[in-house]
């Protein structure tokens, strides 16, 4: 996860990120890692297990929101922390991926902030100079 | 954007048909606050709220308004119950985020020498739940009851006293909750988090009453100068967040069917009288009840912490508990007609005046208690609801100071240890589960709470009762 994979965006009350990817599947995987970096530290998670993730939605924007909400549910509900994602199938209304990670251990996985949810606020997915760029705001 | 000053405290953004606005926006703010408010997108967002079908009266902005998602934070919108819509985003992800004030039988001078011990004890006994789970061990069946009975179930099962539920807005449980409308995912997120504070702007603060402005109301609330009180700010945790997430998605998918188009997808809504609207409201009530149960569990653990430090000498009574994020059916006189409306309060507090029958009998002569937390270094306020709120703001006032700096801007160039030491020099001990928890919530990140209070007091929406100063802060 390099510094060019994503950057943090300001919001008066909450926080957002701008993620970059060469392809849409890469953009979606990096967006998930950007969100998890705000909540915790993905690098502290060991890729001990593979978790299958699949989401369908109405269009590309809502697919991104629903995908991130799926990852957040695994993190906050199933208490699994991920190190990385491998997208296996992708179209604008569906994504299938494998999340590499392990069950959360409060002693090894330091939490930063509780991410409540993913919002549609100023949501953007666009192509800029040969790269896919996503901007997403999270409720903190 | 055209903004007209109505008077020194009220500003109007007239209805703009080209933008699809169905009504005006009214902002309650001084000139100084107005200049701060104009720096972010909050007024645009209040204008977007004015486009919602069935809005009654104006789209209202409180003096603590700041930019949110879809709805601004510090916004109030009433919808016609027959023709209006309900918007999950208009309630927010943290359904029934709210505050409760607890009064103690201790005075500042008695607590100060043992403050560090007390703060450490509370930090151990009341988990923030950022990395781990809470101490309330309940099963799926208990959760089913909690979703319907809220704080009442908690007090009946050993987590408090009957009085705690009686002295909460709606008696600590909203009617109309249907657990079947709450997804398995929401339950899974919520169950281990019951009895935890959360992070972000949630906190538990040990404070003392610095000054009393209204002796009669203070006496009714059992508050006196020098007394130690505790303010608890938390919500429905992962359960409420998931309920909102689930229903924003439901509403987004059903809007075309209901012929609704909006300037911002986060405003996603559905008719109150539709399957989607009714189901959301049933789930929202259940999540609100979970939030009351959560704050009740926190109060229970807080009592234990005080007991361990001060023994039987310390008695803790709930003054009151109010919601910040909720949609409620209430009746108001609108243009000479009595109407039932669904009031969305997104970062706003109900403030019923003296005589209202929904206020506990002990407080009915003075008005409903309203608690306005400031930032952790400044002050918080106790107010009493006033008549103006019934006439102008659908029984609502502000909910806090309102943010001034973004979280990233607040962190910039600051060191958590230094900031903690600075607060300590001012007599405020801070304990936080995360490093960023302190930096992002520093006093500098917020507007001046006293200025916000002046506006609601002078506008006649609520009156000042007491100003509270922090001594010990526990944060996620």
- Which positions in chain A touch B266 (Cβ < 8 Å)? 119-121
Taking only the tens place, the pLDDT of each residue in B294-322 is 999 999 999 999 999 999 889 999 999 99
Contacts of residue B75, defined as CB under 8 A and 6 or more positions apart, other chains included, come to B45, B46, B49, B59, B60, B61, B62, B65, B68, B90, B344, B346, B347, B348
CB contact under 8 A, B131 and A109: yes
Chain A: residue nearest B242 by CA? A117
- Which positions in chain B touch A104 (Cβ < 8 Å)? 131
Residue A112: per-residue pLDDT: 87
Cα distance from B437 to chain A (closest Cα, Å)?
Answer: 8
Cα distance from B466 to chain A (closest Cα, Å)?
Answer: 27
What's the whole-number mean pLDDT along residues A47-62? Answer: 96
Quote the tokens at residue B299.
Answer: 């109060």
Taking only the tens place, the pLDDT of each residue in A18-44 is 999 999 999 999 999 999 999 999 999
- Which positions in chain A touch B407 (Cβ < 8 Å)? 10-11, 13-15, 140
pLDDT cut 70: percent of chain A above it: 98
Per the document, the length of chain B is: 476
Residue A59: per-residue pLDDT: 94
Residue A130 burial (CB count, 10 A): 6
Opening angle at CA B143, ends B139 and B148, nearest 5: 155
HSE-CB at A76 with a 13 A cutoff on CA atoms is: 32
Rounded to whole angstroms, what are the CA distances from B294 to B119, B281, B318, B363?
20, 20, 14, 24
For residues B229 and B373, the answer to whether their CB atoms sit within 8 Å is no
Chain B: residue nearest A63 by CA? B249
CB contact under 8 A, B265 and A120: yes
For residues B359 and B368, the answer to whether their CB atoms sit within 8 Å is yes
CB contact under 8 A, B93 and A116: yes
Cα distance from A10 to chain B (closest Cα, Å)?
Answer: 6
For residues A58 and A46, the answer to whether their CB atoms sit within 8 Å is no
- CA nearest A36: which of A11, A3, A73? A73
Domains of chain B: total: 1
- Which positions in chain B touch A109 (Cβ < 8 Å)? 131
Residue B433: per-residue pLDDT: 84
* Residue of B407, B409, B411 to mutate, testing the A interface (most A Cβ within 10 Å of its Cβ): B407
Taking only the tens place, the pLDDT of each residue in B204-241 is 999 999 999 999 999 999 999 999 999 999 999 999 99
Taking only the tens place, the pLDDT of each residue in B182-201 is 999 999 999 999 999 998 88
Ranges of residues in chain B with a pLDDT under 70 are none
- CA nearest A29: which of A56, A9, A1, A49? A1
For residues B440 and B411, the answer to whether their CB atoms sit within 8 Å is yes
**φ, ψ (nearest 5 deg) of residue B205:** -125, 130
CATH code for position B141: 3.90.1860.10
Cα distance from A33 to chain B (closest Cα, Å)?
Answer: 18
Check if A2 contacts B (Cβ < 8 Å): no
Chain A: residue nearest B409 by CA? A10
CA–CA gap between residue B94 and residue B237 (Å, rounded): 7
Give the structural domain span for B73: 4-475
Q: Where are the alpha helices (DSSP H) in B42-195?
A: 42-49, 88-91, 108-111, 115-125, 140-149, 151-156, 162-166, 184-190
Q: Which domains, and CATH codes, for chain A? A: 6-139 (3.55.10.10)
* Residue of A75, A110, A119, A136 to mutate, testing the B interface (most B Cβ within 10 Å of its Cβ): A119
pLDDT cut 90: percent of chain A above it: 87
Q: Tell me, what DSSP letter sits at residue B414?
A: -
- CA nearest B191: which of A40, A79, A107, A80? A79
CB contact under 8 A, A120 and B264: yes
CA–CA gap between residue B340 and residue A75 (Å, rounded): 41
Quote the tokens at residue A138.
Answer: 């999270």
pLDDT score of A9 more than 50: yes
CB contact under 8 A, B189 and A77: yes
Report the residue from A69, A113, A121 with minimal CB separation from B199.
A113
Quote the tokens at residue B296.
Answer: 């009740």
Opening angle at CA B281, ends B279 and B287, nearest 5: 105
pLDDT score of A1 more than 50: no
CB contact under 8 A, A12 and B40: yes
For residues A45 and A101, the answer to whether their CB atoms sit within 8 Å is yes
- CA nearest B382: which of B259, B218, B256, B219? B218
The catalytic residues of B are 399
Opening angle at CA B85, ends B79 and B89, nearest 5: 100
CB contact under 8 A, A62 and B252: yes
- CA nearest B237: which of A25, A54, A116, A19? A116
The size of the A-B interface in CB pairs under 8 A is 109
Cα distance from B96 to chain A (closest Cα, Å)?
Answer: 14
Check if A29 contacts B (Cβ < 8 Å): no
Longest alpha-carbon distance in chain B: 65
Check if A76 contacts B (Cβ < 8 Å): yes
A59: left (phi over 0), alpha (psi -120 to 50) or beta: beta
DSSP B272-326: TTSHHHHHHHHHHHHHHHHHHHHHHHHHHHHHHHHHHHHGGG--EEEEEEEESEE
Cα distance from B195 to chain A (closest Cα, Å)?
Answer: 15
For residues B218 and B366, the answer to whether their CB atoms sit within 8 Å is no
Report the residue from B69, B132, B404 with minimal CB separation from A121.
B69
Report the residue from B185, B200, B266 with minimal CB separation from A119.
B266
CA–CA gap between residue B339 and residue B343 (Å, rounded): 12
- Which positions in chain A touch B73 (Cβ < 8 Å)? 13
What is the predicted ipTM? 0.93
* Residue of B129, B130, B134, B246 to mutate, testing the A interface (most A Cβ within 10 Å of its Cβ): B130
Q: Calculate the CA B439 to chain-centre distance.
A: 21
- Which positions in chain B touch A62 (Cβ < 8 Å)? 249, 252, 265
3-state secondary structure of B448: coil
Cα distance from B136 to chain A (closest Cα, Å)?
Answer: 16
Residue B132: per-residue pLDDT: 75
Check if A130 contacts B (Cβ < 8 Å): no
């Amino acid at each position: 996860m390099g510094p060019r994979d994503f950057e943090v965006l300001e919001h008066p009350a909450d926080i957002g990120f701008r993620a970059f990817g060469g392809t849409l599947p890469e953009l979606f995987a990096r967006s998930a890692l950007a969100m998890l970096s705000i909540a915790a530290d993905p690098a502290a998670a060991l890729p001990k297990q593979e978790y299958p993730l699949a989401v369908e939605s109405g269009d590309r924007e809502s697919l991104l929101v629903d995908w991130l909400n799926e990852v957040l549910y695994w993190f906050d509900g199933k208490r699994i922390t991920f190190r990385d994602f491998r997208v296996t199938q992708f179209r604008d209304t569906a994504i299938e991926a494998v999340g590499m990670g392990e069950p959360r251990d409060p002693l090894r996985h330091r939490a930063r902030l509780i991410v409540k949810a993913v919002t549609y606020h100023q949501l953007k997915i666009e192509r800029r100079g040969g790269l896919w760029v996503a901007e997403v705001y999270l409720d903190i | 954007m055209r903004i007209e000053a109505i008077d020194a405290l009220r500003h109007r953004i007239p209805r703009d048909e080209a933008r699809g606005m169905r009504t005006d926006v009214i902002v309650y703010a001084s000139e100084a606050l107005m200049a701060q408010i104009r720096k972010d997108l909050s007024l645009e967002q209040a204008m977007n709220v004015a486009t919602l079908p069935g809005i009654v009266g104006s789209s209202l902005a409180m003096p603590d308004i700041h930019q949110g998602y879809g709805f601004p934070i510090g916004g109030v919108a009433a919808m016609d119950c027959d023709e209006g819509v309900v918007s999950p985003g208009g309630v927010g992800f943290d359904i029934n985020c709210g505050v409760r004030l607890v009064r103690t039988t201790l005075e500042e001078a008695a607590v100060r020498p043992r403050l560090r011990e007390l703060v450490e004890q509370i930090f151990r006994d009341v988990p923030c739940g950022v990395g781990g789970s809470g101490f309330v061990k309940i099963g799926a069946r208990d959760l089913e009851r909690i979703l319907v009975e809220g704080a009442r179930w908690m007090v009946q099962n050993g987590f408090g006293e009957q009085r705690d539920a009686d002295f909460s807005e709606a008696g600590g449980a909203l009617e109309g909750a249907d657990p079947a409308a709450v997804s398995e995912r929401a339950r899974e997120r919520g169950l281990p988090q019951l009895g935890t504070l959360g992070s972000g702007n949630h906190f538990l603060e040990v404070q003392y009453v610095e000054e009393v402005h209204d002796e009669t109301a203070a006496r009714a609330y059992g508050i006196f100068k020098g007394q130690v009180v505790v303010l608890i700010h938390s919500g429905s945790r992962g359960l409420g967040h998931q309920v909102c997430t689930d229903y924003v998605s439901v509403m987004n998918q059903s809007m075309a069917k209901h012929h609704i188009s909006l300037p911002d997808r986060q405003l996603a809504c559905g008719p109150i009288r539709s399957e989607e609207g009714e189901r959301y409201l049933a789930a929202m009530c259940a999540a609100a009840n979970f939030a009351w149960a959560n704050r009740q569990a926190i109060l229970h653990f807080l009592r234990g912490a005080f007991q361990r430090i001060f023994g039987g000498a310390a008695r803790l009574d709930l003054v009151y508990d109010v919601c910040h994020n909720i949609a409620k059916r209430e009746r108001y006189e609108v243009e000479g007609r009595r109407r039932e409306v669904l009031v969305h309060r997104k970062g706003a507090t109900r403030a019923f005046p003296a005589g209202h029958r929904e206020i506990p009998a002990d407080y009915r002569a003075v008005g409903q208690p309203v608690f306005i937390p400031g930032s952790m270094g400044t002050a918080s306020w106790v107010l009493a609801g006033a008549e103006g709120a019934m006439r102008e703001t659908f029984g609502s006032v502000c909910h806090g100071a309102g943010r001034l700096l973004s979280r990233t801007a607040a962190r910039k160039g600051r060191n958590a240890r230094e900031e903690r030491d600075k607060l300590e020099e001012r007599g405020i001990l801070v304990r936080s589960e995360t490093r960023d928890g302190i930096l992002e919530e520093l006093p500098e990140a917020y507007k001046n709470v006293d200025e916000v209070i002046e506006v609601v007091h002078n506008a006649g929406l609520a009156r000042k009762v007491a100003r509270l100063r922090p001594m010990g802060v526990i944060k996620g």
